[in-house]
Amino acid sequence: MTSTAFATWALEWLVILFVLAIFGGLAVAVAFWLIDRTQTGDAIRRNYPLIGRFRGWFSTLGEFFRQYFFAMDREEMPFNRAQRDWVYHAGRGEDNTRAFGSTRNLSIPGTAIFVNAAFPPLDDQFANTQPLRIGPLAREPYDAPSFFNISGMSYGAISRPAVLALSKGAKKAGIWINTGEGGLSPYHLEGGCDIVFQIGTAKYGVRDHEGRLDDAKLARIAAHPQVRMFELKLAQGAKPGKGGMLPGEKVTEEIAEIRGIHIGQDSISPNRHIEVGDFGALLDMVGHIREVTGKPVGFKTVMGTSEAWEPFFEEVVRRGPDCAPDFITVDGGEGGTGAAPMPLMDLVGMPLREALLRMVDLRDRFGLKDRIRVVASGKLVNPSDVAWAICAGADFVTTARGFMFSLGCIQALKCNRNTCPTGITTHEPHLQRGLVVEEKYVSVANYAKSIIKEVEMIAHSVGVAEPRLMRRRHVRVVQADGDSVPLRQLRPSWDPTMGEEQRPG
């Protein structure tokens, strides 16, 4: 065949294929038009066949387009681009300095502004944060080396490579990792870090066949030297009053064995511990776990009102400090999770910036400051968040979502669908392969070290040698009129010499 003949033949076929594509496209369009016109479930598609489909597509795609093209650096929720970018840069070990000026609007009510000292300590007077003991009355107290640690994320809710990267990163950074309520996996232990074992309402990993606490299993968990503390989860910020939910597609054979549940079935925890119906029972259970394990025991909760917790501290004082929990983790109502009903996520539970102050004040008011440590948890991912919590009275700060960002989370909001594009909250092998443990554990460690370094830098700037010396007088809070006032003026720290009438409500 000559070149001219071949060209003619090819052109004819291109024309034929083009015509077929047009008619094929028209046939598909007509089919969709008929389907839309006759279906009864969607009014838009029924009234506007074919065209109405674009609304659904645009609504779906808009979630992604807004993040990249339309939202400003500080507009998004639950975390904006500026917050995420800080974590990404920190995780990569990159310079986190900025040029030209702050993009943060400092006139928004609630903004924290730290009070720099006129004559801060010299650089050689700047100290690293020292370890702080938790559980002095336990047989094996824990001298926690870092004020910043990894909050609870269950194996099951997050993937095997995610747990392993977090564990190895925690070891490298010298911080603890909380198991979340899903039990102790081999991947928590493999990294070699300190571990806080969380006991949720379903008691995964330490339950008998009827879902009650099994002392023999509890003792076996405590026998691991890496397990340094136990946390009894009463509630978490994203869903106070409701138990954890793990979809059946995430319940693999391995996860079912670790948790003591059935493969492939939805795993829904009770909304509270059936043994704990009042504060006396709570203290009994804390004491029982501490006796069985020999290790510090505390609990995690969400405040609805501070008045409800006064009887708890009264009961602790009545029984004596030996019965007190070794720590209390305060989670804010803005806390995160993989799956929660919207009414609970949006509307229930006191925000951390109010709850933390109230819990710290109650503890100090009842003379338990040196006995009970307070851990702050809930949307604290940047140095300013962590420094504020320490000024408010927290002894420790934990975050989950900050460390998810350090693993590469892009806030795709797919945590509950087993389709996480970064491999963090999915058990699909082809998605998990994107999370390379040997790369990401370094990011985890870098992020933790950057937080610690920059919080220490804030402490130095306000005039103290290390972060736990910061107080409420070192931070101001912007008010509705644009002026800022000291946090201690809004919520004075408890002073036993003050009268009740001087205390804020």
Query: How confident is residue 501, by pLDDT bands cut at 50, 70 and 90?
Result: very low
The pLDDT of residue 460: 92
- Over residues 277-289, the mean pLDDT reads 96
**Which helix (H) or strand (E) is 116 found in, with range?**
none
pLDDT tens string 210-243: 888 999 999 999 999 999 999 999 987 655 666 6
Tokens of 468: 């736990």
- For residue 458, CA distances in Å to 117, 385, 394, 461 come to 10, 11, 16, 5
Residues above pLDDT 70, as percent of the chain: 83
If pLDDT is split at 50, 70 and 90, which confidence band does 425 have? confident
Averaged pLDDT, 291-316: 94
Confidence grade of residue 503 (pLDDT, cut at 50, 70, 90): very low
SS3 for 450? helix
Mean pLDDT of the chain: 84
Say if CB 234 and CB 300 are below 8 A apart.
yes
Range in 188-192, 377-381, 468-472 the model is least confident about: 377-381
Q: List, for residues 50-60, the tens digit of each pLDDT value.
A: 777 776 666 66
pLDDT of 330 = 95
- Predicted pLDDT at 505: 31
Phi, psi dihedral angles at 207 (to 5 degrees): -110, 155
Q: What is the pLDDT of residue 211?
A: 83
Asked if 407 contacts 421 with a C-beta cutoff of 8 angstroms, the reply is no
In this prediction, residue 157 has a pLDDT band, given cuts at 50, 70 and 90, of confident
Tokens 């047989």, residue located: 139
Residue 291 pLDDT exceeds 80 = yes
| Helical residues (DSSP H) of 436-505, grouped into ranges | 437-462, 487-490
pLDDT value of residue 68: 54
Most confident of 21-30, 276-285, 481-490: 276-285
Residues 6+ apart with CB under 8 A from 163: 153, 155, 185, 187, 188
pLDDT, position 56 = 67
Is the pLDDT at 293 greater than 60? The verdict is yes
Q: What's the token pair of residue 208? A: 């008998």
Range with the lowest mean pLDDT among 50-64, 129-143, 187-201, 371-385? 50-64
Enter the tokens of residue 254. Answer: 């391995």
Closest to 435 in 3D by CA, of 410, 460, 465, 464: 410
The predicted structure's pLDDT at residue 399: 93
The DSSP secondary structure of 208-271, one letter per residue, reads: -TTS-B-HHHHHHHHTSTTEEEEEEE---TTSTTS--EE-GGG--HHHHHHHT--TTS-EE--S
pLDDT at 282 over 50: yes
Q: Which whole-number Å values give the CA distances from 174 to 24, 147, 161, 232, 503, in the listed order? A: 62, 10, 20, 23, 38
The type of residue at 373 is R
In a 13 Å sphere around the CA of 13, the CA atoms on its Cβ side amount to 6
- Per-residue pLDDT tens digits for 469-489: 999 999 999 999 889 999 998
CA angle 226, 228, 231 (to 5 degrees): 125
Mean pLDDT of 193-206: 94
**Phi, psi of 345, deg, nearest 5:** -65, -40
Across the range 83-106, mean pLDDT stands at: 68
In angstroms and rounded to an integer, the radius of gyration of the C-alpha atoms of the chain is: 27
Percent of the chain with pLDDT over 90: 45
pLDDT at 294 over 50: yes
DSSP run (H or E) holding 481 = none
- What is the pLDDT at residue 77? 56
What would the two tokens of residue 187 be? 């991947």
| pLDDT, tens only, 433-444 | 888 899 889 999
With a cut of 70, say whether residue 155 has pLDDT above it.
Answer: yes
